[in-house]
Amino acid sequence: MTVHSIAQETKRKLILEAAVRVFARSGYHGARVGDIATEAGVAHGLLYHYFSSKEQVLETVFRENFGELLERFRAVERSDEPAPEKLEGIAKILLRTWRNDPDLVTVMVREVARSPQLQAQVGEVREAFAIVQRVIEQGQADGAFRRDVDAQLASWIVYGGLEEVLTGWVLGQLPDGDDEVARAELTAIELTLGGLRT
Amino acid sequence: MTVHSIAQETKRKLILEAAVRVFARSGYHGARVGDIATEAGVAHGLLYHYFSSKEQVLETVFRENFGELLERFRAVERSDEPAPEKLEGIAKILLRTWRNDPDLVTVMVREVARSPQLQAQVGEVREAFAIVQRVIEQGQADGAFRRDVDAQLASWIVYGGLEEVLTGWVLGQLPDGDDEVARAELTAIELTLGGLRT
Amino acid sequence: MTVHSIAQETKRKLILEAAVRVFARSGYHGARVGDIATEAGVAHGLLYHYFSSKEQVLETVFRENFGELLERFRAVERSDEPAPEKLEGIAKILLRTWRNDPDLVTVMVREVARSPQLQAQVGEVREAFAIVQRVIEQGQADGAFRRDVDAQLASWIVYGGLEEVLTGWVLGQLPDGDDEVARAELTAIELTLGGLRT
Amino acid sequence: MTVHSIAQETKRKLILEAAVRVFARSGYHGARVGDIATEAGVAHGLLYHYFSSKEQVLETVFRENFGELLERFRAVERSDEPAPEKLEGIAKILLRTWRNDPDLVTVMVREVARSPQLQAQVGEVREAFAIVQRVIEQGQADGAFRRDVDAQLASWIVYGGLEEVLTGWVLGQLPDGDDEVARAELTAIELTLGGLRT
DNA sequence: GATGAATGAGATTTCATTCAT
DNA sequence: AATGAATGAAATCTCATTCAT
């Protein structure tokens, strides 16, 4: 933790943060390595000191940020709330990311879903689905949720509904004022739980 | 009509069909114009006789195929069934596209659904959402659906759930045998309608 | 001279005239064969019925039009006027082409001078210089012009002065109203003859 | 200053010098970017590090070299010689460029002199004409030159005569041995001044 | 003669990545 | 660590020309 290594830490983070903004603005393919470097205020060669490729930058952006999200999903899963409340918690976490960091959500929604390699590479996404699935299974086990639906399938449907709301915000097609975001949370939870409840 | 114009029609269609296969296989950015031409069995220059750019090929693929889908959505909306059955019909149409033309669905889900440029350009997508929204509103009006949710928001959530099932199939993460697809339809409809019903 | 062959004659001419306009507008390299065809109101394939290549179109434009000019230069040379009057006649012929057909002059000035192949190919240009040279030599022989200048060199200098006036008009850098054009003729003649006279 | 910046300067210059040779050899349109790079001994990508396009290379070739010429014209204009001597000086400067750098003159004469885009873009050419014009006006004011000719027009005629001699050399149509070049200078000056003198 | 679909060589330009300094 | 000059593979697109009809 010398000044030197702090600076090092800092530039890496600078690049990563710049990448999120540039990817959000131009898309992964439209973003040039030089754009990211410029946005970060460093020479573009430096990017290759910290990352092996442009793709690895995206992957890192994804992994580090989705990891955080996942951690919070896991915390919800570990809690001793009933399944419906857990699902509600997950929905809130997911939807609140929008106001928190719209650029990041933009990148996640736009790039990750489109990249099969990334999707396959990163177990994190699967893990997210698995958590939702296990919560649903728990609800089915304790009678809160109907048992005649496949939990895996249900987890995709539920997750998809939430993600599409984020997509609507990303695309500017759904209103995203404070009130609307709050209402979207309620609506999403209502519909999702409504469909699952016995 | 004449042999001439049939041939003309044919090559254009050949290119468009080839484009779907190549985009599905390699993604839009991974697909080279030459690949599409080769797959279609024509010289790559011909592609520019019919389309002004690679992007316009994608746009045309989208517009012409989504247009068909939309037509069928509209037919459902125009029918005099009750709202829940209409929604069910829409869900079936959407989900059955997968078995019908997996490559096309792959392209739609991967390239189009999340591309803001394309989304914005093409009113077709908005129209699809609008149809779902109007069906929901109809259901709310005649008491079939709960009135305490915003119909626009609900349309995104419902549509998102369905699309994510398609995504699951596209990514090979959800089983897509005959039985599973049939079951997915039922589940998706159940969950969606369950959430909306009064 | 059936109606058929008249039509044939006509389309060929149409193409040639269109070529002059398009070459003037876009330059030889900027002009597409399709542009010329469109301007002529024919299919671009037809161009290859009358000409073997785009370059041959330019060459034909040049040859046929410059040929006419040359014919008039020759007439002047053959006349029994004194050398200074002959030179004056040549200058007038050359400068008056501008008002007559600006597009043609534009093409001549811009493309012919730049194309070494064309220049070499077509003896017509050399012949034009040769005429000027012979007139100067005649003037030197009969004492009208000074004998201490090389007639070939002088012919280039004289011709260049005239051509540059055309260039100035082509480039829009010299005023080309009726009066100015008339004055330009006088000035060019004055300066040129003034330099040559004993 | 540093070795670094010298190298940088060098490669850029290398490219520019190579461009002159290649443009002279093949013409602007016949010259491929790769040819220029190969001639300069660099990767063709580097060309785009220093210039934004092939056209900008030509423009830079022109601007930087014509700028030098212009500087010398200006020096002549600023001198306190009489107008005829100034004109003589300008003629010598212009004509001597041929022996100095035939490739450069070739490019100037063939590509630049008649290109409306380039002409319009670059004020340098206008400035050259303006200098000649002012010298002529000075001569008219102090009685050395006849006053009944338009100085602007005269400047084009004079300049055109000189340029055409260069053109004759470029096209290989005028002999350009040491003696002939020396004689051409004298002849051009004689004719030009002869025409202007009172 | 006339059309315009079809071809394919070829050229510019982009940009991720490397590496000497 | 940091820079940015240098590389070169690769890709889109253009357009003169051909040719079946």
pLDDT > 70: percent of chain A: 90
A114–B111 C-beta distance less than 8 A: yes
Chains A and C touch (3+ CB pairs under 8 A): no
Contact residues, chain C, for D58 at CB < 8 Å? none
Q: What per-residue confidence (pLDDT) applies to A9?
A: 65
Q: What per-residue confidence (pLDDT) applies to A41?
A: 96
Q: What per-residue confidence (pLDDT) applies to B116?
A: 65
Contact (Cβ atoms closer than 8 angstroms) between residue D113 and residue C168: no
* Cα–Cα–Cα angle for B174, A20, D50, rounded to 5 degrees: 120
- The CATH code belonging to domain C1-51 is 1.10.10.60
Residue pLDDT, tens place only, C97-141: 999 999 999 999 888 766 666 665 667 888 999 999 999 999 999
Nearest-CA neighbor of B96 among B17, B21, B169?
A: B169
Residue pLDDT, tens place only, B49-100: 999 999 999 999 999 999 999 999 999 999 999 999 999 999 999 999 999 9
Which tokens hold the place of A140? 């089915």
Contact (Cβ atoms closer than 8 angstroms) between residue D147 and residue D140: yes
Judged against a pLDDT cut of 90, whether residue B125 lies above it is answered with no
Confidence of residue B7 (pLDDT cuts 50, 70, 90): very low
Helical residues (DSSP H) of chain B, grouped into ranges: 3-30, 33-40, 44-50, 54-78, 83-100, 102-107, 116-121, 123-141, 151-170, 178-196
Judged against a pLDDT cut of 60, whether residue B175 lies above it is answered with yes
Q: What per-residue confidence (pLDDT) applies to A7?
A: 54
Q: Which residues in 39-58 of chain A line strand E, with CB less than 7 A from it?
A: 44-45, 48, 52-55
Q: What per-residue confidence (pLDDT) applies to A114?
A: 64
Q: What per-residue confidence (pLDDT) applies to D2?
A: 41
Q: Is the CB of C52 under 7 A from strand E?
A: no
**Phi, then psi, of B145 in degrees rounded to 5:** -115, 150
Q: What per-residue confidence (pLDDT) applies to C124?
A: 84
User: What HEC string does C1-32 produce?
Assistant: CCHHHHHHHHHHHHHHHHHHHHHHHHHHHHCC
Which is the CATH superfamily of the domain at C59-196?
Tetracycline Repressor, domain 2 (1.10.357.10)
Judged against a pLDDT cut of 50, whether residue B3 lies above it is answered with no
Contact (Cβ atoms closer than 8 angstroms) between residue C40 and residue C62: no
Residue pLDDT, tens place only, A147-192: 999 999 999 999 999 999 999 999 888 999 999 999 999 999 999 9
Q: What per-residue confidence (pLDDT) applies to D143?
A: 95
Maximum distance among all Cα pairs of chain B, rounded to whole angstroms: 59
Lowest mean pLDDT among A172-181, C5-14, C117-126, C172-181: C117-126
Q: What per-residue confidence (pLDDT) applies to D7?
A: 47
C159–D153 C-beta distance less than 8 A: no
Judged against a pLDDT cut of 50, whether residue A146 lies above it is answered with yes
What span, in angstroms and rounded, lies between the C-alpha atoms of C179 and A182? 79
Was domain D55-196 assigned CATH 3.30.70.120? Answer: no
Query: How is chain C split into domains, by residue range?
Result: 1-51, 59-196
Contact residues, chain C, for D187 at CB < 8 Å? 149-150, 153-154, 157
What span, in angstroms and rounded, lies between the C-alpha atoms of C190 and A129? 93
The structural architecture, per CATH, of the domain A54-196 is Orthogonal Bundle (1.10)
Average pLDDT, chain A: 91
Q: Is the CB of C55 under 7 A from strand F?
A: yes
Residue C145: beta bridge partners? C197
What span, in angstroms and rounded, lies between the C-alpha atoms of C105 and C182? 17
Work out the burial of residue B122: count CB atoms within 10 Å of its CB; fewer than 13 is exposed, 13-18 middle, 19 or more buried: middle
Judged against a pLDDT cut of 60, whether residue C2 lies above it is answered with no
Q: pLDDT digit of tens for each residue in chain D (198 aa)?
A: 344 444 446 899 999 999 999 999 999 999 999 999 999 999 999 999 999 999 999 999 999 999 999 999 999 999 999 999 999 999 999 999 999 999 999 999 888 776 767 766 668 888 999 999 999 999 999 999 999 999 999 999 999 999 999 999 998 899 999 999 999 999 999 999 998 888
* Protein-proximal nucleotides of chain E (any atom < 7 Å from a CB): 1-21
What's the Å distance between residue A193 CA and nucleotide F13 C1'? 52
Confidence of residue A85 (pLDDT cuts 50, 70, 90): very high
Nearest-CA neighbor of A128 among A83, A165, A171, A76?
A: A76
C163–D162 C-beta distance less than 8 A: no
Confidence of residue A118 (pLDDT cuts 50, 70, 90): low
Average pLDDT, chain C: 91
D152–C167 C-beta distance less than 8 A: no
D194 touching chain C per CB within 8 A: yes
- Any residues with CB less than 8 A from the CB of B56 and at least 6 apart, and which? none
The residue among A124 and B57 whose pLDDT is bigger is: B57
Q: What per-residue confidence (pLDDT) applies to B111?
A: 87
Judged against a pLDDT cut of 70, whether residue B113 lies above it is answered with no
Q: What per-residue confidence (pLDDT) applies to B9?
A: 61
Long-range contacts of B141-146 (CB under 8 A, 24+ apart): B142/B82, B142/B83, B143/B198, B144/B82, B144/B83, B144/B84, B144/B197, B144/B198, B145/B83, B145/B84, B145/B196, B145/B197, B145/B198, B146/A194, B146/B196, B146/B197, B146/B198
DSSP class per residue in C40-75: HTS-HHHHHHH-SSHHHHHHHHHHHHHHHHHHHHHH
Q: What per-residue confidence (pLDDT) applies to A6?
A: 57
Distance (Å) from the C-alpha of residue B46 to the closest C-alpha of chain A?
A: 26
Which tokens hold the place of A8? 């090092």
Instruction: Name the residue facing D114 among C149, C150, C167 (closest C-beta).
Output: C167
Residue pLDDT, tens place only, C39-95: 999 999 999 999 999 999 999 999 999 999 999 999 999 999 999 999 999 999 999
Instruction: Name the residue facing D149 among C113, C170, C190 (closest C-beta).
Output: C190
Confidence of residue C8 (pLDDT cuts 50, 70, 90): low
Cα C137 to Cα C80, C147, C150, C190, distances in angstroms: 15, 8, 9, 19
Neighbours of C96 (CB within 10 A): 12
What span, in angstroms and rounded, lies between the C-alpha atoms of A138 and C131? 104
C177 touching chain D per CB within 8 A: no
Q: What per-residue confidence (pLDDT) applies to A111?
A: 86
Task: Provide the CB-side half-sphere exposure for D109 (13 A, CA).
Answer: 29
